[in-house]
Every structure is written in C-alpha cells, then in structure tokens.
Amino acid sequence: MSSESEPEIPLTQTTYCVISEDINEDFVLNLDLKGGIRKIKRRKKTKEKAESKRFAAPKTDEEVNIFASDRFSGSTRAKCKWAVNLFEVWLNERNSKADFKSEICVISGDLVNMDNATLSYSLSCFVTEVRKCNGEEYCGNSLYELVMCIQHFKTAETHFKFVK
C-alpha cells in the first residue's frame, strides 16, 4: 500500500479533473479513479485567457482622483457635511462660553488638526451638549450618526473638500 513516511489519504470522490495550465497544451483531462481516463476535452484558446479578468487596465492619476472623489454617495457627503459643520459651530460656541466660565475647558484646535485624545474628549462633550435648533435633544440614532460621520470625516478627510 503506502510506505510509513507517506500516510494513506482517503478519497471522497471517484473522479477528478486536471486542467492544463501550460500554454502549449489545451486540454482538460477527466480521470476516473477506478477505471482510468473517462474523457478528454479540448479547451478553447482565446485572447481573454492570456489577459487577466481579475484586474482592470492600469488607471491614470486623474482617473484615480476621480474615482476617489466619487467613492462616497451624495447623501453620505451631505450627512458628513452637516455633522462636521454642526460640530464646528458647537466647538466655537462652547469655546466662547468657556472664556466666561473657568470650570469649562477650552477645546483647542479645529477638527481637521485635532489629535485622537482631544477628539475623543470633544465628542463626548459634543454628544451631551448638542441640541436641535428648537432646543430638543437629538435621539440616539441621530447622535450615533453624528459621531460616525465625524469619525468618517477624520479617516477620509482628504476626500472631503467642504471644510474651509
């Protein structure tokens, strides 16, 4: 049967197919493990076989920039713009109030240049202080969207051009 160095491998199927990857040979060989070769089929040689379908043709820098700017839908861009603008307005208003009250910390910097620790602190303050125009609190889903949009802006800020 088999030597001690090679363990016996149980087979779970009775046939298998061998496809030649060599360009000179163009056939598919179906083998029957019990009775030998079952059938041989010729493969069609096409130009598509030589070219890879997995990757597109190389893109120019201009095409890459267009793709990067279009990768976010209009609604995503609008939500992020709303969230970032609301955050910036809140930040300016909060810092102006902090000038009059010593117990309120001033949050320095703008959103684009804010480090992660400052962003984390400011987002926690923002979520507890932000209100709608009529003074009502935002529901949980809206607060979640605000935070996610701001974080999305921070991770993809090079593609958003609406911040001054």
pLDDT in tens, the chain (164 residues): 445 566 665 656 555 555 555 544 445 555 555 555 555 555 555 555 555 678 888 989 888 877 777 777 788 888 989 999 999 999 999 988 887 877 888 888 888 888 889 999 999 999 999 999 999 999 999 999 999 999 888 887 554 555 44
65: three-class secondary structure by DSSP: helix
Measured CA to CA, the distance from residue 122 to residue 87 in angstroms comes to: 9
Query: Which residues in 124-140 are b (16+ Cβ under 10 Å) and which e?
Result: ebbeeebeeeeeeeeee
Flag whether the pTM goes above 0.85.
Answer: no
